Each structure stands twice: as C-alpha cells, then as structure tokens.
Copies of this chain bind each other. A is one copy, B any other.
Amino acid sequence: MTFYQKLKDRWQAHNTLVCVGLDPLPEQFPATVADAPNAIFAFNRAIIDATHDLVCAYKPQIAHYAALAAEDQLQQTLDYLRSQYPDIPILLDSKRGDIGSTAEQYAREAFERYGADAVTVNPYMGWDTIQPFAQYRDRGVIVLCRTSNPSAGELQNLHLDSGEPLFEHVARIAARDWNANRNLALVVGATAPAELARVRQIVGDMPILVPGLGAQGGDAEAVLQAGLNAQRDGLIINSSRGILYASQGNDFAAAARHETETLRELANRYR
C-alpha cells in the first residue's frame, strides 16, 4: 500500500487528521520512565499504545535520536509500530536536503534502514534533492514550503520578480514538475492560514503536513477552512510536545491520549 493510500485510509476509516510527533526529550520524561533501560523506546511505546486509534500518522523527528546516539531506539520504535500497527504511516522528519549520490544515501537511510513511509525534504537545492526520494513510488516526499517558525518568511515570503512569493513558487513547481509519481506532499505551518489557503489553491488535493496547531498556537477554524481539500481531508495536523509532555507525571500516556482526542475533535469540528 502506498503512503498516500495508508494516509487516506486513516483520514477516512479512522476519522482523524492528527499526527503525533515522536520527539523524545528524556529530561521531560517521568522519572520512572527516564530511569528505565531504553527509556526513549519505553516512552514512545507508551505514547503509541495510548494514541494509536486516534492518529493518521506518527512523525519521529530524527534529531532527537541523533543528538543522543539513540538510533537503535528509533529503530526499535519503528519496528514496534510496524509489528503492532502496520496500517499507520510513519513520517520520518529529517528535513534532508542534498543531491545526487548523497541524496540517494539519505533515501536509503529513510526508506531502507528505517523503513519510513515518507520523509521531509528541503527544496533549496531543487529537483536533484527531491528525485532520489520521489523515485520510491510507494513512499511519500514531504517538501518544506511555508514553515511555522518565526523567521520562516525571511526567505520563504520573499517576492519574486514574477510577483509571487517564494513559497508559492515552491508549491507550484512541486505540483507541476516534481509530482510525476503522485507521491509528493508539502509542509505549511498552522501559523500562516492565509499562506495555507494559497498553497491549497495551487496544489489541489496534495497532502499538506501542518505543524503548529497545538503548542505553536495556530487558529483551528482558520487552518481547517484554509487547508482542507475537496474531499474534506488532505491535512496531516501534527502536534509533538503539546501531546508528549501534557503531563510529566506517571499519567503521561493518559494525558497524551486526552490531548490527542482534544486535537482530533477540534480538527473534526471544522471538517
């Protein structure tokens, strides 16, 4: 099953647009988990078991593992997901951006070593960056377009001499030139609903990964109205820390479930 089919099934059959980011910060784990062997995997497993029926995807952010030399616990987490919940797509958030033979190595890392269903990629180096990932036809390539951070507009909102801002140009070439295998998606932050509406207009039904609706404070109604496609889906609404660290006590998994349910209901209210 392709990335897109898996996602579509979760959006529709499971009625959820919510993606939980798996960004482990051991200093925020409850002490009982932090002191266990393989604490990161133990934490992730508890979060996954508590939220799996509520999500359309999980998104591990690879820096959180790399900084701690915890690649093995990332692998354990992905193996666990695949064995227990094989129909949930895994988005590896690594924002890779390199070319040719090096991008091929990154694609091997994401799709072969880790077996991810999709990976985030930075478009600054053009098609050469995208192609080695996009040639895996059953996997997804999620291209940064308009991100949610304060300085996102510093480059992305620059106006080109054609009159359009850079992020719109990225959306346009992603949809027109880079999507021959129909496996592209984009990242557009919830902090920019007007930009999200423009991107949706440009890319049709393409999936859009939307960070920033939780902790970063985007407005749910504006985001949903701007971002839904004609099928009333097409959005992957990600929250990481707002869910993972809703409680730092021993009830962290139950608190994570509660936050995930709240976000799912919030999104579905405007769907």
Contacts and interface: CB of A to CB of B under 8 A. Distances in A.
Interface stretch (A48-56, A94-102, A251-259, A261-269): A94-102
Contacts of A103: 63
Contact of A166 (B63, B98, B113, B166): B166
Q: How many chain copies does the complex carry?
A: 2
Contact of A71 (B69, B99, B105, B150): B69
A22 interface: no
Contacts of A242: none
A152 interface: yes
A15 B182 CA distance: 51
Contacts of A163: 161
Interface in A155-171: 155-156, 158-161, 163, 166, 169-170
Contacts of A66: 105-106, 109, 113
A97 B100 contact: no
A270 interface: no
A179 interface: no
27 contacts: A23-B101, A61-B98, A61-B102, A63-B102, A64-B102, A66-B106, A66-B109, A66-B113, A67-B105, A67-B112, A68-B113, A95-B122, A97-B144, A99-B151, A100-B149, A124-B156, A125-B147, A125-B151, A126-B151, A126-B152, A126-B154, A126-B155, A126-B156, A129-B151, A155-B166, A158-B169, A161-B161
Given A99-B149, A154-B173, A160-B160, 19 more contacts: A63-B102, A63-B106, A66-B113, A67-B105, A67-B112, A69-B71, A69-B113, A95-B96, A95-B97, A95-B98, A95-B122, A99-B147, A122-B122, A126-B149, A128-B150, A128-B151, A129-B151, A155-B170, A159-B161
